[in-house]
A and B are shown apart, each in its own frame.
Chain A
Amino acid sequence: MLEVDLAGVKLRNPIVIASGILGISRGLFLRLDREGAGAVTTKSVTLRPRSGNPLPNIVELEFGLVNSMGIPNPGIELMCEEIRSAVPHMSVPIIGSIAPTSAEEAKTMASLLVESGASAVEVNTSCPNVQDIGINLINKSVELVRSIDREVDVPILVKVTPHVQDVPSFVRTLSEAGADGFTAVNTLKAMVIDVDLLRPVLGGVVGGLSGPAVRPVAVRFIYEIRKTLPGAAIIGTGGVENWRDAAEMIMAGADAVGIGTALRRGLKVINEVTDGLRSFLIERGLTLDDIRGVVP
Protein backbone atom coordinates (compact mmCIF):
# COMPACT_ATOMS: atom_id res chain seq x y z
CA MET A 1 0.00 0.00 0.00
CA LEU A 2 3.01 2.30 0.19
CA GLU A 3 4.11 1.88 -3.45
CA VAL A 4 4.67 5.08 -5.36
CA ASP A 5 5.42 6.00 -8.92
CA LEU A 6 8.11 8.65 -9.15
CA ALA A 7 8.06 9.92 -12.74
CA GLY A 8 7.76 6.32 -13.88
CA VAL A 9 10.24 4.85 -11.39
CA LYS A 10 8.50 2.37 -9.11
CA LEU A 11 9.29 2.63 -5.40
CA ARG A 12 8.09 0.05 -2.86
CA ASN A 13 7.61 2.88 -0.37
CA PRO A 14 8.06 6.65 -0.48
CA ILE A 15 11.21 6.83 1.64
CA VAL A 16 14.25 7.94 -0.35
CA ILE A 17 17.68 8.18 1.23
CA ALA A 18 18.81 11.77 0.55
CA SER A 19 21.97 12.55 -1.38
CA GLY A 20 25.12 12.73 0.73
CA ILE A 21 23.66 10.41 3.34
CA LEU A 22 25.64 7.16 3.22
CA GLY A 23 25.14 6.54 -0.52
CA ILE A 24 28.77 6.10 -1.45
CA SER A 25 29.48 2.39 -1.66
CA ARG A 26 28.05 -0.88 -2.85
CA GLY A 27 27.80 -2.15 0.70
CA LEU A 28 25.88 0.92 1.82
CA PHE A 29 23.47 0.85 -1.14
CA LEU A 30 22.67 -2.76 -0.32
CA ARG A 31 22.40 -2.13 3.38
CA LEU A 32 19.99 0.79 2.94
CA ASP A 33 17.92 -1.47 0.69
CA ARG A 34 17.87 -4.15 3.42
CA GLU A 35 16.99 -1.54 6.04
CA GLY A 36 13.81 -0.78 4.14
CA ALA A 37 14.41 2.32 1.99
CA GLY A 38 12.23 2.86 -1.08
CA ALA A 39 15.15 4.26 -3.08
CA VAL A 40 18.72 5.34 -2.42
CA THR A 41 20.31 8.52 -3.77
CA THR A 42 24.06 8.51 -4.32
CA LYS A 43 26.36 11.08 -2.79
CA SER A 44 26.64 13.91 -5.33
CA VAL A 45 29.44 12.94 -7.62
CA THR A 46 31.91 15.06 -9.58
CA LEU A 47 33.90 14.19 -12.68
CA ARG A 48 37.14 13.85 -10.75
CA PRO A 49 37.78 12.72 -7.16
CA ARG A 50 37.28 15.48 -4.63
CA SER A 51 38.59 15.70 -1.07
CA GLY A 52 35.98 18.01 0.42
CA ASN A 53 36.45 20.63 3.11
CA PRO A 54 38.74 20.51 6.12
CA LEU A 55 37.24 19.14 9.34
CA PRO A 56 35.12 19.78 11.36
CA ASN A 57 32.54 19.00 8.70
CA ILE A 58 29.59 18.75 11.03
CA VAL A 59 28.05 20.52 14.00
CA GLU A 60 25.21 18.88 15.89
CA LEU A 61 22.49 21.19 17.19
CA GLU A 62 19.28 20.32 19.04
CA PHE A 63 17.22 21.13 15.95
CA GLY A 64 19.44 19.71 13.24
CA LEU A 65 22.90 19.62 11.76
CA VAL A 66 25.08 22.13 10.01
CA ASN A 67 27.48 20.44 7.60
CA SER A 68 30.24 21.65 5.33
CA MET A 69 31.34 18.39 3.73
CA GLY A 70 32.21 20.07 0.45
CA ILE A 71 31.11 17.10 -1.69
CA PRO A 72 33.97 14.69 -1.01
CA ASN A 73 33.58 11.82 -3.48
CA PRO A 74 35.74 9.39 -5.42
CA GLY A 75 34.73 10.73 -8.83
CA ILE A 76 32.27 9.47 -11.40
CA GLU A 77 34.23 6.40 -12.51
CA LEU A 78 34.56 4.81 -9.09
CA MET A 79 31.02 5.76 -8.11
CA CYS A 80 29.77 4.01 -11.24
CA GLU A 81 31.72 0.89 -10.29
CA GLU A 82 30.01 0.86 -6.90
CA ILE A 83 26.60 1.28 -8.53
CA ARG A 84 27.28 -1.34 -11.19
CA SER A 85 28.25 -3.96 -8.65
CA ALA A 86 25.28 -3.16 -6.40
CA VAL A 87 22.43 -2.92 -8.89
CA PRO A 88 22.07 -6.65 -9.72
CA HIS A 89 21.56 -7.30 -6.00
CA MET A 90 19.27 -4.35 -5.28
CA SER A 91 15.51 -4.52 -4.92
CA VAL A 92 15.12 -0.73 -4.97
CA PRO A 93 16.27 1.91 -7.47
CA ILE A 94 19.36 4.06 -7.17
CA ILE A 95 19.09 7.75 -7.99
CA GLY A 96 22.42 9.10 -9.24
CA SER A 97 23.20 12.61 -7.99
CA ILE A 98 25.63 14.76 -9.95
CA ALA A 99 27.36 18.04 -9.15
CA PRO A 100 28.69 19.13 -12.55
CA THR A 101 30.68 22.24 -13.42
CA SER A 102 29.33 22.47 -16.97
CA ALA A 103 26.66 21.15 -19.31
CA GLU A 104 29.29 18.95 -20.92
CA GLU A 105 30.17 17.34 -17.60
CA ALA A 106 26.52 16.98 -16.66
CA LYS A 107 25.83 15.07 -19.84
CA THR A 108 28.85 12.80 -19.44
CA MET A 109 28.18 11.97 -15.82
CA ALA A 110 24.45 11.44 -16.32
CA SER A 111 24.97 8.95 -19.10
CA LEU A 112 27.67 7.07 -17.17
CA LEU A 113 25.34 6.81 -14.17
CA VAL A 114 22.49 5.52 -16.28
CA GLU A 115 24.76 3.02 -18.04
CA SER A 116 25.79 1.75 -14.60
CA GLY A 117 22.20 1.18 -13.57
CA ALA A 118 20.93 4.39 -11.99
CA SER A 119 17.16 4.71 -12.44
CA ALA A 120 17.05 8.51 -12.29
CA VAL A 121 19.45 11.44 -12.28
CA GLU A 122 19.37 14.20 -9.70
CA VAL A 123 21.17 17.44 -10.51
CA ASN A 124 22.66 19.20 -7.53
CA THR A 125 22.79 22.94 -8.17
CA SER A 126 22.00 23.62 -4.56
CA CYS A 127 24.88 22.49 -2.33
CA PRO A 128 25.96 25.57 -0.35
CA ASN A 129 29.35 24.20 0.75
CA VAL A 130 31.39 24.51 -2.42
CA GLN A 131 32.87 27.35 -4.46
CA ASP A 132 32.95 25.88 -7.94
CA ILE A 133 29.84 23.70 -8.16
CA GLY A 134 26.51 23.25 -6.37
CA ILE A 135 24.58 26.43 -5.68
CA ASN A 136 27.07 28.48 -7.67
CA LEU A 137 25.74 26.84 -10.80
CA ILE A 138 22.12 27.57 -10.05
CA ASN A 139 21.89 29.99 -12.96
CA LYS A 140 23.09 27.24 -15.24
CA SER A 141 20.43 24.76 -14.04
CA VAL A 142 18.39 25.10 -17.20
CA GLU A 143 21.39 24.51 -19.44
CA LEU A 144 22.45 21.48 -17.39
CA VAL A 145 19.01 19.93 -17.45
CA ARG A 146 18.72 20.47 -21.21
CA SER A 147 21.99 18.76 -21.93
CA ILE A 148 21.12 15.79 -19.72
CA ASP A 149 17.64 15.54 -21.20
CA ARG A 150 19.14 15.13 -24.67
CA GLU A 151 21.39 12.37 -23.43
CA VAL A 152 19.40 10.06 -21.12
CA ASP A 153 15.93 8.54 -20.98
CA VAL A 154 15.52 8.25 -17.23
CA PRO A 155 13.73 10.88 -15.12
CA ILE A 156 15.71 14.01 -14.31
CA LEU A 157 15.23 15.57 -10.89
CA VAL A 158 16.59 18.93 -9.82
CA LYS A 159 17.72 19.31 -6.23
CA VAL A 160 16.32 22.63 -5.13
CA THR A 161 17.97 25.08 -2.77
CA PRO A 162 15.72 26.75 -0.19
CA HIS A 163 17.32 30.02 -1.27
CA VAL A 164 15.23 30.18 -4.41
CA GLN A 165 13.02 33.29 -4.26
CA ASP A 166 10.46 32.72 -6.93
CA VAL A 167 9.69 29.03 -6.70
CA PRO A 168 6.94 28.90 -9.36
CA SER A 169 9.03 30.48 -12.10
CA PHE A 170 12.15 28.53 -11.11
CA VAL A 171 10.47 25.15 -11.37
CA ARG A 172 8.39 26.05 -14.40
CA THR A 173 11.48 27.03 -16.39
CA LEU A 174 13.25 23.83 -15.40
CA SER A 175 10.26 21.72 -16.21
CA GLU A 176 10.15 23.27 -19.68
CA ALA A 177 13.85 22.47 -20.05
CA GLY A 178 13.17 18.80 -19.39
CA ALA A 179 13.17 18.30 -15.62
CA ASP A 180 10.70 15.60 -14.62
CA GLY A 181 10.74 16.44 -10.97
CA PHE A 182 12.29 18.16 -7.98
CA THR A 183 13.93 17.16 -4.74
CA ALA A 184 13.19 19.92 -2.31
CA VAL A 185 15.07 21.03 -0.37
CA ASN A 186 18.83 21.00 -0.01
CA THR A 187 20.37 22.61 3.07
CA LEU A 188 19.98 26.25 4.04
CA LYS A 189 23.21 28.29 4.23
CA ALA A 190 24.19 28.54 7.85
CA MET A 191 27.04 29.24 10.23
CA VAL A 192 27.93 28.31 13.79
CA ILE A 193 30.36 30.23 15.98
CA ASP A 194 31.98 28.92 19.13
CA VAL A 195 31.60 31.84 21.50
CA ASP A 196 34.18 30.54 23.97
CA LEU A 197 36.81 30.26 21.29
CA LEU A 198 35.62 33.25 19.25
CA ARG A 199 35.69 31.41 15.95
CA PRO A 200 33.57 29.52 13.46
CA VAL A 201 33.30 25.81 14.14
CA LEU A 202 33.13 24.41 10.62
CA GLY A 203 36.30 23.91 8.64
CA GLY A 204 34.43 25.38 5.67
CA VAL A 205 33.29 28.32 7.88
CA VAL A 206 29.84 28.39 6.26
CA GLY A 207 27.79 25.23 5.91
CA GLY A 208 24.26 24.01 5.31
CA LEU A 209 21.50 23.52 7.86
CA SER A 210 19.45 20.32 7.70
CA GLY A 211 17.11 18.54 10.07
CA PRO A 212 13.90 19.57 11.85
CA ALA A 213 14.75 23.28 11.65
CA VAL A 214 14.28 23.32 7.87
CA ARG A 215 11.17 21.14 7.70
CA PRO A 216 8.58 23.92 7.51
CA VAL A 217 10.65 25.51 4.75
CA ALA A 218 10.67 22.23 2.85
CA VAL A 219 6.92 21.80 3.33
CA ARG A 220 6.31 25.25 1.86
CA PHE A 221 8.57 24.46 -1.14
CA ILE A 222 6.73 21.23 -1.84
CA TYR A 223 3.41 23.03 -1.58
CA GLU A 224 4.48 25.73 -4.02
CA ILE A 225 5.96 23.29 -6.49
CA ARG A 226 2.86 21.09 -6.42
CA LYS A 227 0.58 24.09 -6.97
CA THR A 228 2.72 25.21 -9.90
CA LEU A 229 3.27 21.83 -11.54
CA PRO A 230 0.55 19.31 -10.73
CA GLY A 231 2.29 16.64 -12.80
CA ALA A 232 5.88 16.95 -11.58
CA ALA A 233 7.55 14.30 -9.44
CA ILE A 234 8.49 15.65 -6.02
CA ILE A 235 10.76 14.18 -3.37
CA GLY A 236 10.07 16.23 -0.27
CA THR A 237 13.25 16.44 1.78
CA GLY A 238 14.27 18.31 4.88
CA GLY A 239 13.92 17.46 8.54
CA VAL A 240 11.81 14.34 8.29
CA GLU A 241 12.30 12.50 11.58
CA ASN A 242 9.13 10.38 11.84
CA TRP A 243 6.03 9.25 9.96
CA ARG A 244 4.08 12.39 10.84
CA ASP A 245 6.73 14.52 9.16
CA ALA A 246 6.62 12.25 6.12
CA ALA A 247 2.83 12.44 6.00
CA GLU A 248 3.06 16.22 6.21
CA MET A 249 5.29 16.33 3.14
CA ILE A 250 2.97 14.05 1.20
CA MET A 251 -0.03 16.18 2.20
CA ALA A 252 1.85 19.20 0.88
CA GLY A 253 2.19 17.39 -2.44
CA ALA A 254 5.27 15.15 -2.30
CA ASP A 255 5.31 11.79 -4.10
CA ALA A 256 8.24 10.55 -2.09
CA VAL A 257 10.03 11.70 1.03
CA GLY A 258 13.77 12.12 1.49
CA ILE A 259 15.49 11.22 4.74
CA GLY A 260 18.96 12.35 5.73
CA THR A 261 19.77 13.88 9.07
CA ALA A 262 17.30 11.63 10.92
CA LEU A 263 19.57 8.65 10.22
CA ARG A 264 21.94 9.93 12.90
CA ARG A 265 19.51 8.17 15.24
CA GLY A 266 20.12 4.88 13.41
CA LEU A 267 19.00 3.14 10.24
CA LYS A 268 15.97 1.77 12.10
CA VAL A 269 14.38 5.18 11.50
CA ILE A 270 13.61 4.06 7.93
CA ASN A 271 11.31 1.25 9.04
CA GLU A 272 9.83 3.36 11.83
CA VAL A 273 8.71 5.90 9.25
CA THR A 274 7.27 3.39 6.78
CA ASP A 275 5.55 1.36 9.54
CA GLY A 276 4.06 4.55 10.97
CA LEU A 277 2.80 5.71 7.59
CA ARG A 278 1.26 2.33 6.90
CA SER A 279 -0.54 2.21 10.26
CA PHE A 280 -1.81 5.74 9.79
CA LEU A 281 -3.25 4.92 6.38
CA ILE A 282 -4.83 1.69 7.60
CA GLU A 283 -6.38 3.31 10.67
CA ARG A 284 -7.84 6.14 8.66
CA GLY A 285 -8.85 3.97 5.74
CA LEU A 286 -6.83 6.12 3.37
CA THR A 287 -4.28 5.59 0.59
CA LEU A 288 -1.21 7.65 -0.27
CA ASP A 289 -3.14 9.01 -3.27
CA ASP A 290 -5.88 10.21 -0.92
CA ILE A 291 -3.51 12.31 1.14
CA ARG A 292 -1.10 13.49 -1.55
CA GLY A 293 -1.43 17.22 -2.03
CA VAL A 294 -4.64 17.12 -0.03
CA VAL A 295 -4.16 20.56 1.51
CA PRO A 296 -6.01 23.26 -0.37
Chain B
Amino acid sequence: MKGRIRKVDEVAEGVRRIVVDIHLKADPGQFVMVWVPGVGEAPFSVSDIENGLQLVVALRGSVTRKIFSMSEGDVLPVRGPYGKGFTLVKGTVALVGGGYGLAPFPLLSKRLKDLDSHITLLLGFKGSKNYIDPQKVGILADDFIVATEDGSVGFKGLVTEILEDLSGYDMVYACGPERMAVELLRIVNPSKVEISVERLMRCGIGVCGSCVLDPLGLRVCSDGPVFRGDVLLRIEDFGRFWRGWDGRKEEIR
Protein backbone atom coordinates (compact mmCIF):
# COMPACT_ATOMS: atom_id res chain seq x y z
CA MET B 1 0.00 0.00 0.00
CA LYS B 2 1.10 3.53 -0.58
CA GLY B 3 -0.33 6.98 -0.37
CA ARG B 4 0.66 10.60 -0.42
CA ILE B 5 1.35 12.46 2.75
CA ARG B 6 -1.60 14.77 3.37
CA LYS B 7 -0.48 16.59 6.49
CA VAL B 8 2.60 16.98 8.65
CA ASP B 9 2.56 18.73 12.04
CA GLU B 10 5.35 19.10 14.54
CA VAL B 11 3.59 18.07 17.78
CA ALA B 12 6.68 18.37 20.00
CA GLU B 13 10.38 18.81 19.48
CA GLY B 14 11.45 15.91 17.27
CA VAL B 15 7.98 14.38 17.08
CA ARG B 16 5.67 14.67 14.10
CA ARG B 17 2.14 13.68 13.33
CA ILE B 18 1.93 12.48 9.75
CA VAL B 19 -1.31 11.74 7.94
CA VAL B 20 -1.07 9.65 4.80
CA ASP B 21 -3.76 9.05 2.20
CA ILE B 22 -3.95 5.37 2.92
CA HIS B 23 -7.24 3.84 3.98
CA LEU B 24 -6.94 0.64 5.89
CA LYS B 25 -8.64 -1.34 8.61
CA ALA B 26 -6.62 -1.83 11.77
CA ASP B 27 -7.08 -2.67 15.41
CA PRO B 28 -5.67 -0.30 18.04
CA GLY B 29 -2.14 -1.37 18.92
CA GLN B 30 -1.31 -2.84 15.51
CA PHE B 31 1.59 -1.42 13.54
CA VAL B 32 2.70 -0.85 9.96
CA MET B 33 6.13 -1.20 8.40
CA VAL B 34 7.03 2.05 6.66
CA TRP B 35 9.45 1.81 3.76
CA VAL B 36 11.75 4.71 3.05
CA PRO B 37 13.34 3.84 -0.30
CA GLY B 38 17.09 3.96 -0.28
CA VAL B 39 17.25 4.16 3.52
CA GLY B 40 15.33 1.34 5.17
CA GLU B 41 12.13 0.28 6.79
CA ALA B 42 10.77 0.67 10.33
CA PRO B 43 7.71 -0.24 12.38
CA PHE B 44 5.28 2.44 13.58
CA SER B 45 2.07 2.12 15.53
CA VAL B 46 -1.13 2.77 13.67
CA SER B 47 -2.14 5.96 15.46
CA ASP B 48 -5.45 6.53 13.76
CA ILE B 49 -7.25 5.43 10.61
CA GLU B 50 -10.22 7.75 10.50
CA ASN B 51 -9.19 10.23 7.82
CA GLY B 52 -6.27 8.38 6.36
CA LEU B 53 -3.45 6.66 8.17
CA GLN B 54 -2.05 8.74 11.04
CA LEU B 55 1.43 8.06 12.40
CA VAL B 56 3.24 9.76 15.26
CA VAL B 57 6.93 9.62 14.46
CA ALA B 58 9.83 10.49 16.76
CA LEU B 59 13.19 11.39 15.25
CA ARG B 60 15.70 8.70 16.08
CA GLY B 61 18.04 7.61 13.29
CA SER B 62 18.31 7.26 9.54
CA VAL B 63 14.79 6.10 8.65
CA THR B 64 13.03 8.61 10.86
CA ARG B 65 15.36 11.40 9.69
CA LYS B 66 14.33 10.70 6.12
CA ILE B 67 10.66 10.66 7.14
CA PHE B 68 11.24 14.06 8.76
CA SER B 69 12.57 15.42 5.47
CA MET B 70 9.32 14.51 3.72
CA SER B 71 6.43 16.87 3.27
CA GLU B 72 2.88 17.04 1.97
CA GLY B 73 2.50 15.29 -1.39
CA ASP B 74 5.41 12.87 -0.91
CA VAL B 75 4.61 9.19 -1.31
CA LEU B 76 4.93 6.87 1.69
CA PRO B 77 4.78 3.10 1.13
CA VAL B 78 3.66 0.92 4.04
CA ARG B 79 2.86 -2.73 4.61
CA GLY B 80 0.57 -4.12 7.27
CA PRO B 81 -1.20 -3.64 9.56
CA TYR B 82 0.48 -6.38 11.55
CA GLY B 83 0.36 -7.81 15.02
CA LYS B 84 -2.09 -8.29 17.80
CA GLY B 85 -3.40 -5.12 19.37
CA PHE B 86 -5.08 -4.13 22.63
CA THR B 87 -8.10 -6.00 24.01
CA LEU B 88 -10.97 -3.56 24.24
CA VAL B 89 -12.55 -3.45 27.69
CA LYS B 90 -15.83 -1.78 28.55
CA GLY B 91 -15.54 -0.05 31.89
CA THR B 92 -13.11 2.24 33.65
CA VAL B 93 -9.75 2.27 31.95
CA ALA B 94 -6.44 4.15 32.06
CA LEU B 95 -4.12 4.94 29.18
CA VAL B 96 -0.52 5.40 30.29
CA GLY B 97 1.96 6.80 27.81
CA GLY B 98 5.52 8.03 27.85
CA GLY B 99 6.85 10.30 25.08
CA TYR B 100 5.84 9.16 21.60
CA GLY B 101 4.34 6.09 23.30
CA LEU B 102 1.00 7.84 23.06
CA ALA B 103 1.07 7.00 19.33
CA PRO B 104 -1.54 4.19 19.44
CA PHE B 105 -3.88 6.03 21.81
CA PRO B 106 -5.98 8.05 19.34
CA LEU B 107 -7.44 4.92 17.71
CA LEU B 108 -7.51 3.04 21.02
CA SER B 109 -9.39 5.82 22.80
CA LYS B 110 -11.96 6.02 20.00
CA ARG B 111 -12.64 2.29 20.12
CA LEU B 112 -12.92 2.44 23.92
CA LYS B 113 -15.34 5.33 23.61
CA ASP B 114 -17.43 3.28 21.16
CA LEU B 115 -17.91 0.99 24.18
CA ASP B 116 -18.66 3.95 26.49
CA SER B 117 -15.63 3.27 28.64
CA HIS B 118 -14.44 5.93 31.06
CA ILE B 119 -10.90 6.91 30.07
CA THR B 120 -8.22 8.40 32.30
CA LEU B 121 -5.20 9.51 30.31
CA LEU B 122 -1.83 9.70 32.04
CA LEU B 123 1.09 10.99 30.03
CA GLY B 124 4.72 11.53 30.92
CA PHE B 125 7.34 13.58 29.10
CA LYS B 126 10.89 14.78 29.77
CA GLY B 127 9.99 18.47 29.69
CA SER B 128 7.81 21.09 28.05
CA LYS B 129 9.69 20.83 24.74
CA ASN B 130 8.68 17.17 24.55
CA TYR B 131 5.10 17.69 25.67
CA ILE B 132 2.54 16.45 23.13
CA ASP B 133 -0.96 17.87 23.46
CA PRO B 134 -3.22 14.79 23.37
CA GLN B 135 -5.93 16.73 21.54
CA LYS B 136 -3.55 17.55 18.70
CA VAL B 137 -3.18 13.88 17.90
CA GLY B 138 -6.83 13.05 18.55
CA ILE B 139 -6.86 11.20 21.86
CA LEU B 140 -10.24 11.11 23.63
CA ALA B 141 -10.20 11.13 27.43
CA ASP B 142 -12.47 11.95 30.36
CA ASP B 143 -9.63 12.83 32.72
CA PHE B 144 -6.13 13.89 31.81
CA ILE B 145 -3.05 13.98 34.00
CA VAL B 146 0.41 14.93 32.78
CA ALA B 147 3.82 14.68 34.40
CA THR B 148 7.19 15.95 33.24
CA GLU B 149 10.56 14.98 34.61
CA ASP B 150 11.55 18.64 35.07
CA GLY B 151 8.12 19.75 36.29
CA SER B 152 7.68 22.26 33.47
CA VAL B 153 4.23 20.88 32.63
CA GLY B 154 1.91 19.20 35.14
CA PHE B 155 3.29 17.14 37.99
CA LYS B 156 7.04 16.87 38.47
CA GLY B 157 8.30 13.32 38.18
CA LEU B 158 7.78 10.16 36.22
CA VAL B 159 4.32 9.28 35.04
CA THR B 160 4.50 6.08 37.09
CA GLU B 161 5.07 8.14 40.25
CA ILE B 162 1.75 9.92 39.95
CA LEU B 163 -0.12 6.69 39.68
CA GLU B 164 -0.62 5.79 43.26
CA ASP B 165 -3.77 3.87 42.97
CA LEU B 166 -4.47 2.15 39.72
CA SER B 167 -6.32 -0.72 41.34
CA GLY B 168 -9.72 0.68 40.45
CA TYR B 169 -9.25 0.25 36.71
CA ASP B 170 -10.71 -2.57 34.69
CA MET B 171 -7.75 -2.26 32.36
CA VAL B 172 -4.58 -0.18 32.12
CA TYR B 173 -3.17 0.24 28.60
CA ALA B 174 0.43 1.33 28.33
CA CYS B 175 2.95 2.28 25.68
CA GLY B 176 6.26 4.02 26.19
CA PRO B 177 9.85 3.44 27.25
CA GLU B 178 10.44 -0.05 28.61
CA ARG B 179 11.61 1.41 31.94
CA MET B 180 8.17 2.95 32.34
CA ALA B 181 6.50 -0.36 31.56
CA VAL B 182 8.66 -2.19 34.10
CA GLU B 183 7.80 0.42 36.75
CA LEU B 184 4.13 0.13 35.89
CA LEU B 185 4.17 -3.61 36.45
CA ARG B 186 5.33 -2.96 39.99
CA ILE B 187 2.29 -0.88 40.82
CA VAL B 188 -0.62 -2.44 38.97
CA ASN B 189 -2.18 -5.88 38.85
CA PRO B 190 -0.16 -7.38 35.97
CA SER B 191 -3.12 -9.30 34.62
CA LYS B 192 -5.03 -6.05 34.22
CA VAL B 193 -2.45 -4.23 32.15
CA GLU B 194 -1.63 -4.47 28.47
CA ILE B 195 1.65 -3.08 27.24
CA SER B 196 2.87 -2.42 23.73
CA VAL B 197 6.45 -3.61 23.38
CA GLU B 198 9.16 -2.62 20.90
CA ARG B 199 11.82 -4.88 19.47
CA LEU B 200 13.85 -4.77 16.33
CA MET B 201 11.87 -6.10 13.42
CA ARG B 202 12.84 -7.46 10.06
CA CYS B 203 9.99 -9.42 8.53
CA GLY B 204 7.11 -8.12 10.66
CA ILE B 205 5.10 -11.24 9.75
CA GLY B 206 6.31 -13.81 12.24
CA VAL B 207 8.78 -15.85 10.20
CA CYS B 208 12.30 -14.59 10.92
CA GLY B 209 12.53 -14.58 14.71
CA SER B 210 14.35 -11.22 15.03
CA CYS B 211 11.81 -9.84 17.47
CA VAL B 212 11.68 -12.83 19.83
CA LEU B 213 11.10 -12.48 23.58
CA ASP B 214 12.61 -15.35 25.55
CA PRO B 215 12.19 -17.71 27.32
CA LEU B 216 8.65 -17.91 25.96
CA GLY B 217 9.62 -17.57 22.30
CA LEU B 218 7.00 -14.86 21.75
CA ARG B 219 7.31 -12.79 18.59
CA VAL B 220 6.68 -9.09 19.15
CA CYS B 221 5.56 -8.65 15.52
CA SER B 222 2.86 -11.27 15.54
CA ASP B 223 2.19 -12.56 19.07
CA GLY B 224 2.38 -8.88 20.10
CA PRO B 225 3.30 -6.05 20.02
CA VAL B 226 0.72 -5.84 22.81
CA PHE B 227 1.21 -8.29 25.68
CA ARG B 228 -0.47 -8.70 29.03
CA GLY B 229 1.60 -7.70 32.04
CA ASP B 230 1.63 -11.16 33.59
CA VAL B 231 3.08 -12.55 30.35
CA LEU B 232 5.79 -9.88 30.29
CA LEU B 233 6.76 -10.70 33.86
CA ARG B 234 7.74 -14.14 32.58
CA ILE B 235 10.03 -12.65 29.91
CA GLU B 236 13.65 -12.59 31.14
CA ASP B 237 14.59 -10.05 28.46
CA PHE B 238 11.82 -7.62 29.39
CA GLY B 239 13.28 -4.37 30.67
CA ARG B 240 16.79 -5.74 30.23
CA PHE B 241 17.72 -6.91 26.75
CA TRP B 242 16.97 -6.15 23.17
CA ARG B 243 18.38 -8.01 20.17
CA GLY B 244 20.44 -6.07 17.64
CA TRP B 245 20.64 -6.57 13.88
CA ASP B 246 22.80 -9.66 14.31
CA GLY B 247 20.47 -11.13 16.93
CA ARG B 248 22.88 -10.59 19.81
CA LYS B 249 21.38 -9.30 23.02
CA GLU B 250 22.19 -5.73 23.97
CA GLU B 251 21.31 -4.04 27.21
CA ILE B 252 18.37 -1.64 27.10
CA ARG B 253 19.54 1.76 28.21
What is A's interface to B at a CB cutoff of 8 Å? 20-32, 43, 49-52, 54-58, 60, 65, 67, 69, 72-75, 78, 194, 196-197, 199, 201, 203, 260-261, 263-264, 266
> Closest B-chain residue to A48, C-beta based?
B246
Expressed in whole angstroms, the Cα–Cα distance for A52 and B208 within the complex equals 12
Given contacts A26-B214, A49-B248, A74-B248, contact A69 B41 (CB under 8 A): no
Pick from B37, B38, B210, B212: contact of A72, CB under 8 Å: B210
Contact A72 B245 (CB under 8 A): yes
Q: Which residues of A contact B182 (CB under 8 A)?
A: none
For this complex, 7 residue pairs linking A to B, each with C-beta atoms less than 8 Å apart, are A27-B217, A28-B217, A49-B248, A51-B245, A56-B35, A65-B207, A196-B75
> Closest B-chain residue to A33, C-beta based?
B217
Q: Which residues of B contact A52 (CB under 8 A)?
A: 202, 245-246
Most buried by A among B204, B218, B246: B246
Contact A264 B216 (CB under 8 A): no
Kindly supply a per-residue 1/0 record for chain B positions 185-213, scoring 1 wherever the CB is within 8 Å of any chain A CB and 0 otherwise: 00000000000000000111111111011
In the complex, B215 has a CB within 8 A of chain A: yes
In the complex, B157 has a CB within 8 A of chain A: no
Contact A58 B203 (CB under 8 A): yes
Q: Which residues of B contact A54 (CB under 8 A)?
A: 40
Pick from B37, B212, B213, B214: contact of A199, CB under 8 Å: B37
Q: Which residues of A contact B42 (CB under 8 A)?
A: 55
Count of chain B residues near A, Cβ 8 A: 34
Contact A51 B246 (CB under 8 A): yes
Within 8 A of A (CB), among B205-253: 205-210, 212-219, 222, 244-248
Tell me the minimal C-beta distance from A62 to chain B in angstroms: 14
Q: Which residues of A contact B246 (CB under 8 A)?
A: 49-52, 72-75
Contact A25 B210 (CB under 8 A): no
Q: Which residues of A contact B18 (CB under 8 A)?
A: none
> Closest B-chain residue to A45, C-beta based?
B247
Given contacts A57-B203, A60-B205, A261-B207, contact A197 B247 (CB under 8 A): no
Expressed in whole angstroms, the Cα–Cα distance for A65 and B204 within the complex equals 13
Expressed in whole angstroms, the Cα–Cα distance for A22 and B247 within the complex equals 12
Contact B206 A266 (CB under 8 A): yes
Q: Which residues of B contact A263 (CB under 8 A)?
A: 206-207
Contact B79 A60 (CB under 8 A): yes
Contact B37 A57 (CB under 8 A): no
Contact B40 A264 (CB under 8 A): no
In the complex, B33 has a CB within 8 A of chain A: yes
Contact A26 B215 (CB under 8 A): yes
Contact B202 A58 (CB under 8 A): yes
Tell me the minimal C-beta distance from B47 to chain A in angstroms: 21
Expressed in whole angstroms, the Cα–Cα distance for A28 and B213 within the complex equals 9
Q: Which residues of A contact B202 (CB under 8 A)?
A: 52, 55, 57-58, 69, 72
